[in-house]
Amino acid sequence: MKQSVNYLDKVPARNEKFKWSQNDAGIVTIEVPNRGVFHFLAQKLLKKPPVTYVHLDKTGSFVWPILDGKMDVHLLGQKVEAQFGEAAHPLYERLVKFFQILESYGFIVWNR
């Protein structure tokens, strides 16, 4: 039997192996180094860049800097709602999907 996960109780933290920056408009960019044999060949033969830059949207750029590994998704959702109001709705569905995507790329780790 498949057990469902309650993401609201989970505590995300940034994976510190990824460098990131925030521009003057507050948009976060995560740097993803392209390593490995395939990437090496692609860089040499196809002139692919050694680093890929992932730009987050406004909501993601608000959440990313406050991922301290102490706040659970529920509390983060409250902060997002205070910042964006109705524009963030459906709040927790969007927030959980955001964290699922970040997790799939290894950008976050779960502390609990």
pLDDT at 112: 66
How far apart (Å, rounded) are the C-alpha atoms in residues 81 and 87?
Answer: 8
CATH number listed for the domain at residues 7-110: 3.90.930
Percent of the residues in the chain that have a pLDDT greater than 90, as a whole number:
72
DSSP-assigned states of every residue in the chain: -PPPP-GGG--EEE-TTS-EEE-TT--EEEEEE--SHHHHHHHHHS---SEEEEE--HHHHHHGGG-BSSS-HHHHHHHHHHHHGGGG-SHHHHHHHHHHHHHHTTSEEE--
The pTM assigned to this predicted structure is: 0.84
Residue 81, both tokens:
């709602």
CB 13 within 8 A of CB 108: yes
Chain centroid to Cα 84, Å, comes to 18
Domain-by-domain residue ranges, the chain?
7-110
CB 56 within 8 A of CB 30: yes
More confident residue, 52 or 102: 102
The predicted-structure confidence for 12-63, as pLDDT tens digits, reads as follows 999 999 999 999 999 999 998 876 665 566 656 666 766 889 999 999 999 9
pLDDT at 93: 95
CB 8 within 8 A of CB 74: yes
pLDDT, average across residues 67-91: 95
